[in-house]
Amino acid sequence: MLGIALQRTTAGVARAVPFTIEASEDVAADFPGAPRLQSFAWAQWDGKWIFIAGRTGGYHGIGQGDVDFPRTRANQDIWVIEPSVTGPAKVHSLAVANLHDVPTVVKDQWVSSNLLHYQDGETLYLAGGYGVNSAGDTVTYSVLSAVNLPALVKGVLAGKDTFSRAIAYAESPLVQSAGGGLVKLDDGLFYLFGGHVFMGSYRAFEAAEEKTTPKASQTYLGEIRKLRFNQPGGQKLVVSQVDRYQDPEFARRDLNVELTIAPDGKSLGAAAYGGVFTKDQLNFTHPVYFQANSTPRVDTAFEQKMSAYSCATLLMFDPASSEMYTTFFGGISRWTWNYSSKQFDQAALAGKKSDQAGYLDGMPWIDHISTLVRSAKDSYEFVQSNRLPSFLGTNAAFIPVTGLKEVRDGTRIFDLSQFRGKRVLVGYLYGGIRASPKQFPYTDEAPYYTSGNVPTKPSDVILKVYVTAPAAR
């Protein structure tokens, strides 16, 4: 039987750790031929995993050779994976170039990076994205596309384009964003949170000391857009803005935007966690909560310590305690967890980006699994004693197994009560970036590589994720 461990929060209060998470069992060998991707869009249909867009390289560099997002490192295929419990998974793919009945700008978007995406039943919506288009220009796309997942899966399994007529699209500046978030709430409207519009190459931007020039520019959206998506017929989508909310706290990108259940146990909402960059080139710490028909709220009473950058997440809600649990796997963080002293340590900040020698940006890669707990009374976070087997999770996905009970259908927010008193396989940690931030001998005490010089690659592991919760009292 699982005991209830205690962990002290930053306020010094001892809290019960409500469950244990393990993510160390690598089953990549069971997925022969699966792509190594990061910053992709994904969905599930009929037990199958679908991947579109993303990159096949590691983290883009800072002040070094691999700064840009070349099209040669773009994922140029649509992937469908059929997991199996009795043997190896089946992996299918179809080149985006083989789509015949959509315009070039849609095919370009489908090989971009850091695009916003949301699965609404059998439809996957893709918005924005950053990459090199067919004309050789590096842009943030002002494209919204939507694909019927049953049709896509059927076509990819057959190895031919039988579904591009099931792709609807629109071009609109309202969806031009990279590194933001997209969710749908109970009013039937979509909420696009933040991100940025980057035009031109990172190399040109750095050469201009990160100032806007005709060659490269960066604009943070700094708002939440409430949008309506209509499909009047055929392949036509229509995007219209219903409302928008502006706040300096919304000017962030590369964050986690996730659905939530409110403390009343039934209302669906969303939250934005972390994100970069503040004026001092660090991360945002206050979560932003928003629901349908209400004004977004910045939680200034709570500062999130861990996982400030886009990473894989697991969502659970406990009806008994009315607590929402958002778990973050790895990523990049302003703080790390000291397993010896059992407290948060602030990461070192030193040097300048322009001078790589000794430069530490205060945002190291981490191998921690942390959970942000939100109740009607307050919020806090705790860190699992189990760690990831490497510095994983950034721009990755948590893909749940089928058959788990959701608090609300279609939300991927799972009812914690189904895990009580047992150890349950809940899903897989897939894709993202694998980093090696520590120098030899690779221990916690070893020095970090200077920021921008950390060896990275697309993750070559696929981890099973287990949850164990104490039995109900």
Q: What is the pLDDT along the chain (473 residues), one digit of tens a residue?
A: 344 455 656 555 667 789 999 999 999 999 999 999 999 999 999 999 999 999 998 886 544 445 678 888 999 999 999 999 889 999 999 999 999 999 999 999 999 999 999 999 999 999 999 999 999 999 999 999 999 999 999 999 999 999 999 999 999 999 999 999 999 999 999 999 999 999 999 889 988 888 999 999 999 999 999 999 999 999 999 999 999 999 999 999 999 999 999 988 889 999 999 999 999 999 999 999 999 989 999 999 999 999 999 999 999 999 999 999 999 999 999 999 999 999 999 999 998 877 778 899 999 999 999 999 999 999 999 999 999 999 999 999 999 999 999 999 999 999 999 999 999 999 999 999 999 999 999 998 899 999 888 999 999 999 999 999 999 87
- Is the Cα dihedral 134, 140, 145, 149 positive or negative? positive
- The DSSP result for 307-368, as a single string, is --S-BEEEEEEETTTTEEEEEEEEEE-SEEEETTTTEEEEPPEEEETTEEEEEEES--EEEE
Report how far residue 256's alpha carbon sits from residue 181's, in angstroms, rounded to the nearest whole number: 7
Q: Which two tokens stand for residue 76?
A: 């140029």
Kind of pairing between the strands at 355-361 and 397-400: unpaired
The dihedral formed by the CA atoms of 147, 431, 174 and 206, expressed in degrees to the nearest 10 = -140
Convert the pLDDT of each residue in 27-44 to its tens digit: 999 999 999 999 999 999
- Give the torsion sign (CA, 93, 97, 99, 102): positive
In whole angstroms, what is the distance from residue 142 CA to residue 129 CA? Answer: 8
Residue 242 and residue 226 in contact, taking contact as beta carbons nearer than 8 Å: yes
C-alpha torsion 294→296→302→307, nearest 10: 120
Burial of 66 (0-12, 13-18, 19+ CB in 10 A): middle
Tally of CA atoms within 13 A in the half-sphere of 341 that contains its CB: 8
Residue 2 is predicted with a pLDDT of 40
Q: Where are the domains of the chain?
A: 11-32+254-473, 40-113+115-249
Find out whether 192 and 116 touch, Cβ atoms under 8 Å: yes
Residue 6: what pLDDT?
A: 54
Side-chain-facing half-sphere of 6: CA atoms under 13 Å: 5
Longest dimension (CA), the chain: 64
Cβ-in-10-Å burial (0-12, 13-18, 19+) of 341 comes to exposed
Which pLDDT belongs to residue 108?
A: 98
- Joined tokens for residue 447: 């020095």
Report the distance separating Cα 224 and Cα 249, nearest Å: 10
**Which runs of E-coded beta strand occur in 216-265?**
216-220, 223-233, 236-246, 256-261
Measure CA 139 to chain center: 21
Amino acid at 224: I
How far apart CA 397 and CA 311 sit, in angstroms, is 7
The C-alpha angle 126, 177, 253, rounded to 5 degrees, equals 110
CB 302: neighbour CB atoms within 10 A? 16
H-only helix segments in 22-97: none
